[in-house]
Chains A and B, each alone.
Chain A
Amino acid sequence: MSPLLIGALGLAALFGLIVLHVPIGIAMIIVGIGGYALQTGWAPALTLLASEPSGLLASVDLATVPLFLLMGTFATAAGFSRDIYSAAAAVMGHRRGGLGYATIGGCATFGAVCGSSTATAATFAKAALPEMLRRGYAPSFSAGTIAAGGAMKSLIPPSIVMILYAIVAQAFIFDLFIAALVPAVLAIALNLLAVAVVVRLDPGVAPLAARVAMAERWAAVRAAAPALALLASVFAGIYSGVFTVNEAASVAAVLSLVFAFARGRLDRASLWQGLRDTAAATAMIYVIIIGASLFSYYMTLARVPEALMSAIGGLDVPPLAIIFALLAAYLVLGAVFDEIAAMLITLPFVLPVVQGLGYDVVWWGIINVVVIELGMITPPIGIIVFVLHGLAPQISLPAIYRGVVPFIVADLVLLVLLTLFPAIALWLPSLLK
């Protein structure tokens, strides 16, 4: 049987199990072990069920995921998102669309002390949405801005998606965090531009508000100081070179807990809920990573990546066309599939192709993150849109999807720029080397 046929059958079996409601991580484990067993026998295949997961369970790098999730839980329970948003709103709220800018800026800031996009969006749905609606902002625009701000978090280190990519692609997490800095700034700028364009074209969605007195502005900024200090500590921990990424994650988790206690405003209900969510998310992420690892084993043993690479190498098309075809495939796949799962399932055979075309593994990681960011807000499965709708059921799903359209355009522009000019992502890492 040819490697490409083995790969196709493996994928068909995987999608078959997924359609039958088998969790994606478990489906990957079943197909990975089954496929491996068909090639080598059941005894060696079954030993993989311990030898491979044991390495992942004891991985210091992968342990940064629950640590960064804990950081977000403590920061949320301490009310840091409200502090950050209030400060941003006090400074920018009087401009037309000011609360939109404050939401994007606030999400970017809070995103740096929270590992998860959905948590960032959910937190800002509570902090920003009531205020935006109270000031007469259009529900569609308000929810769209918050969804976009939450999705943007994927690109802001420390990002769980980047860590997962780095683990599976065997890249350095730190390299991805560095490479994401310029694209993250660009993403923030493009999202702010999207707000500006929307309020220019339709001023009714964001009425003007009175300017806040200078004393009140300072008070709001001072109230946000602990959150900003935590942000500075986390960034210094990651980028100073003093700590490894794992140590930086530990610093972030411990400091956020200390800051939350020091703030004296720990919301216990939010803390318990956050801890429960963190544990469940940790389980989900480890199961899917174990699945991806076993599935990758099977694909590699069958030499699927090499066969795919030689098949694509025989095509008379420029590498950039193949990259754009892959991006289109991811966007389509993301419409019917969880984007992170899609990335992890396809990475074993897509990454060798991308590298074979001469592209950088870190650059592809950033591209993947932007695709995932887009998938989180695009229909029909925009997970962040669903989360927002769950928290604000009075705003319909179509209304939220209408609200995110300008931000989808902004993300597509970012994706095209990053694809055409890989240096946007790779310039800073190369400078630091």
Chain B
Amino acid sequence: MSLERIGVLATRGLAAVGLVLLMTLAVMTLADGLMRWLANRPIDGVRDVGALLIAVAVSCCLPVGLMERSNITIRAAQAALGAATGRALDAIAALLVQLVIAAMAWQFTVFAGKIARAGETTWVLKIPTAPFWYLVAAILWIAVVVQAIVVVLEARKLRR
């Protein structure tokens, strides 16, 4: 299996997990809203952990965006400077994206550590929040690996 195929399948699988999590949260939010409206009894915890679950769910979608190059990019220079220059710029840009994602993953790891040391919990259910942020950091490290694949793929195009 090619490097690209592995990256695509892995990131799509992770994104599917994120979307399923988001839909699960939507069902819980709907149930919470209905319970509040019909019985004036909201479900404890939906709002409490909802935001943290959203952070994890959305993070799961970030690697697929990198792998499928869905971020908005203006390629006006390619038209003016030629395809070879365009490919070189794509490779350099991919490397810059790699640096930014790696810096974010590093900072999220530090951020989660700070939250863990502070012993932060959710308001109602008193669930520790640090594990959620460690999970987000872990997903961002996966994104770093994914972007490394993108960098390799862009670099390979330079040989053409």
Contact = CB atoms under 8 A, between A and B. Distances in A.
Nearest to B97: A26
Contact of B19 (A24, A46, A49, A279): A279
A122 interface: no
A22 B61 contact: no
Contact of B93 (A20, A59, A336): A20
A246 B32 CA distance: 12
B25 interface: yes
Interface string B48-87: 0011101101110111111010111111111000000010
B73 A22 contact: yes
B136 interface: yes
B145 interface: no
Contacts of B27: 250, 254
A244 B104 CA distance: 32
B99 to A, nearest CB: 9
B30 interface: yes
A282 interface: yes
A30 B100 contact: yes
Contacts of A70: 19, 22-23, 26
Contacts of B55: 54, 57-58
Nearest to B71: A23
A255 to B, nearest CB: 8
Give the bracket for the number of chain B residues in contact with chain A: 35 or more
B75 A284 contact: no
B18 interface: yes
Contacts of A257: 23
Contacts of A413: none
Given A20-B89, A243-B33, A279-B64, A57 B96 contact: no
Interface string B124-156: 000000000100100000000000000000000
B107 A60 contact: no
A337 B61 CA distance: 25
Contacts of B26: 67, 70, 249-251, 253-254
Contacts, number: 176
Interface of B: 12, 15-16, 18-19, 22-23, 25-27, 29-30, 32-33, 37, 50-52, 54-55, 57-59, 61-66, 68, 70-78, 86, 89-90, 92-93, 96-97, 100, 103-104, 107-108, 110-111, 133, 136
Given A22-B73, A251-B30, 6 more contacts: A19-B77, A54-B136, A276-B68, A278-B19, A283-B65, A288-B71
Interface of A: 17-26, 29-30, 33, 46-47, 49-51, 53-54, 57-60, 63, 66-67, 70, 242-244, 246-247, 249-251, 253-254, 257, 275-276, 278-284, 286-288, 336-338, 340-341
26 contacts: A19-B74, A19-B77, A20-B77, A21-B74, A21-B75, A22-B73, A46-B103, A49-B103, A49-B108, A50-B111, A51-B111, A53-B104, A53-B108, A54-B136, A58-B55, A60-B50, A63-B58, A246-B29, A250-B33, A276-B68, A280-B64, A280-B65, A282-B65, A284-B65, A287-B65, A336-B74
